[in-house]
Structure 1
Amino acid sequence: MADLWMPGATRLDIGDHAPCDGGPAKCVPHITWDLNATAATPQDLVPYENLRRFFTGVGKGLAPHLLWNPFTGAVTQFVPATSRSKSLADKPGGTRTNRAGSVVLQIEALFFPYARVGKEVYPRLVDTPCTGWPEILDWVRSWGVPDRWPNGRPESCSRDEGTWETQAGWYPHKAVPENDHDDPLTWPAFTIAKPPAATKCLEPYPGENFFMNGAAPAFGRRSSVFTRMGERLVARGCGRYRVGPGPVLGQADVDSYEAWQREYNAAHHKGWSGSALRWPPGRETWDALEVPKA
């Protein structure tokens, strides 16, 4: 299962989560376009922190999933992948643009044409270093968004609502129904798939008895397994920790794992209830959590 929060991104959860409607998985790229510069009058790039403050403050109602600085690779995430964000215009009636898919991931690149950084001027987004793009692409792929532009690349795209409603892929802001912005103008190419990674070294399911003391959770038991388990629960967006996690098993571990069981149950339509959603961990959810081996 993909990570709700992109690994390596700074997490600034603004709340206001709401589900998507289901359907083809999509990603919509934008540029922030903070200033109108030209080749004759370039302007300094707006500080990244300004946009972070905007999307957590007065611009909260326009926040995307990710804010990306293509010059440094910095990424901030404001809502989890399965929540809609609000960077698209959504008129009453018709397609609910921000929700029209199993996910509708939205990425704002910190950029405007003829942005100046130091002594260099960058006419197009693709002229920047695009630092961090491979990591973003990997995360978007993990949510089932294919490497294709159904309505065309940003340089030349259409706004076909039938395609939008039925086909998964990447849609420039300009190509989304009910929207009339021209961004992102360009976007980096899909990178060549990485060679298969080495087999992950994962912690095998330790068995129910490892987690229990008779009929009760084994509170007070110490193990690095609990630390690594908790770190994965946090990465999945299920952490319920005020301190930690680990290495001593506590109530926060139980609460976090039960949140993971509920999420897994809903995502995979298992139909579990009662004790199947309570501590201790079972083999299926443990294997899906992918706890790394020490």
Structure 2
Amino acid sequence: MSDLWMPGAERLDIGDHAPTDGGTAKAIAHITWDRNASRQAPQDLVPFPALRDYFTGGGRASAPHVLWDPFTGRVTQFIPANSRSKSLVDAPGGTRTNRAGSVVIQVEALFFPWCRVNGKTYESLRDTPCKGWEELHAWVASWGVASSWPMGKPTGFVSKRDERIWRIRSGWYGHAQVPENDHTDPGSWPDFPTDPGTSKYEPFPGAPWFTEGRQSPVVARMHDRLVAEGCDLYRSSSGKDTIGSGDVASYEAWQRKQGFTGSAATWPPGRTTWDALRVPKG
């Protein structure tokens, strides 16, 4: 099961949770843009605690799910993944931007153009060390968010919005690409981590993939790995390429073996335990 709270992140739950509307899983990329600087007049980056305190105080009504510091890798999460946040403009009678998906995970990177950190100036988010991005991306992907930019990866502070794509495509969207919004951030964003196609193991297909009755060679290889790991609660090996009750019971045993308890150890699989299982590619 995917984690409601990102593993390793500081948790500051501000409450005011509300469900999303369902549909394609999305993530929204923002930058804090809390100061206006320029090449000629760079400014020091605002300290992470200042933004964290803002989103738990006076700015809680527009808090994202997570605040990410690309210079240190520090992450604070304010809202669980399955709740909407309020970081997007949501016009009455419109697309309900903050809820338009099974998840709509909103990430604020602590950054503004021409910020200065330890005497060095950074023009774009891509220029930063992007520490912690791999872990942050993995957590977002565990919620079924595709590692793609349906409207194109942000390469500048320009708006590009297509509500038809927004409604039907899973993936990452820049704030500049969200209907009803007039912001132009994030301007850039780090590349997705190395293509899982280069790995010898099956990449996590997303929690919605694991529906009973799904038939796939991946299911058979998952079956074999669960047996090899001593989590064999199958009644037989017949139809082992089709997800059934034996897969559910055996995988939940594997999640418990990995130290998960309660609802965190229930079906469907989450990215952390899937990656640990190391299901080989065919």
Aligned equivalent of 1:117: 117
Q: 1:13 to 1:203 in 2, by over 3 A?
A: farther
Q: Contact between 1:22 and 1:102, CA under 8 Å: does it hold in 2?
A: yes
Q: Structure 1 202/193 Cα, relative in aligned 2: closer, same or farther at 3 Å?
A: farther
TM-score by length of 1: 0.70
SS of equivalent residue, structure 1 residue 232: coil
Cα distance in 2 between the residues matched to 1:4 and 1:39:
40
Q: Which residue of the partner structure matches residue 41 of structure 2? A: 41
Q: Secondary structure at the match of 2:29?
A: strand
Aligned-partner Cα distance in 2 for 1:82–1:116: 35
- Find out whether 1:285 has 2:277 as its counterpart: no
Q: Quick check: 187-196 or 133-142, which moved more?
A: 187-196
Provide the residue aligned with 2:59 in structure 1.
59
Q: Which of the two has higher C-alpha Rg?
A: 1
Conserved in 2, the CA contact under 8 Å of 1:70 and 1:128? yes
How many Å apart are 1:285 and its aligned residue? 3.4
Q: Which residue of 2 aligns with 1:222?
A: none
Cα distance change, pair 285–112 in 1 and its aligned pair in 2 (3 A): closer
Specify the alignment match of 1:136 in structure 2: 136
1:232 correspondence with 2:213: no
Q: Distance in 1 between matches of 2:124 and 2:30?
A: 13
State the alpha-carbon separation in 2 of the partners of residues 288 and 159 from structure 1.
34
Contact 1:205/1:287 (CA < 8 Å) preserved in 2?
A: no
- Structure 1 stretches (4+) deviating beyond 6 angstroms? 197-203, 228-231
Equivalence for 2:191: 189
Offset from partner CA, 1:217-273 (integer Å, 9 cap, x none): xxxxxxxx9xx789634xxxxxxxxxxxxxxxxxxxxxxx3xx2xxx8xxxxxxxxx
Aligned match for 1:175, one of 161, 167, 177: 177
Matched to 1:107, the amino acid is V
More relative contact order, 1 or 2 (CA 8 Å, 6+ apart): 2
3-state SS of paired residue (1:39):
coil
What residue identity is the alignment partner of 1:182? T
CA distance in 2, matches of 1:193, 1:12: 32
How many residues align? The count is 226
Equivalent residue number for residue 249 of structure 2: none
How do 1:19-34 residues align onto structure 2 when only pairs under 5 Å count? 19-34=19-34
CA contact (8 A) 1:9 1:77 kept: yes
Unaligned segments of structure 1, at least 5 residues: 207-224, 234-256, 265-283
Q: CA deviation at 1:196?
A: 5.1
* C-alpha deviation, 1:94, in angstroms: 1.1
Deviations 1:148-167 (A, max 9, x none): 11112212662001110111
- Superposed CA RMSD: 2.9
DSSP 3-state at the match of 1:89: coil
CA distance in 2, matches of 1:63, 1:153: 23
Deviation at 1:25, TM superposition (A): 0.5
Mapped partners of 1:121, 1:106: distance in 2: 26
Distance 1:286 1:24 in 2: 20
For structure 2, list consecutive stretches of 5 or more residues without a partner in the other structure: 203-224, 234-252, 277-282
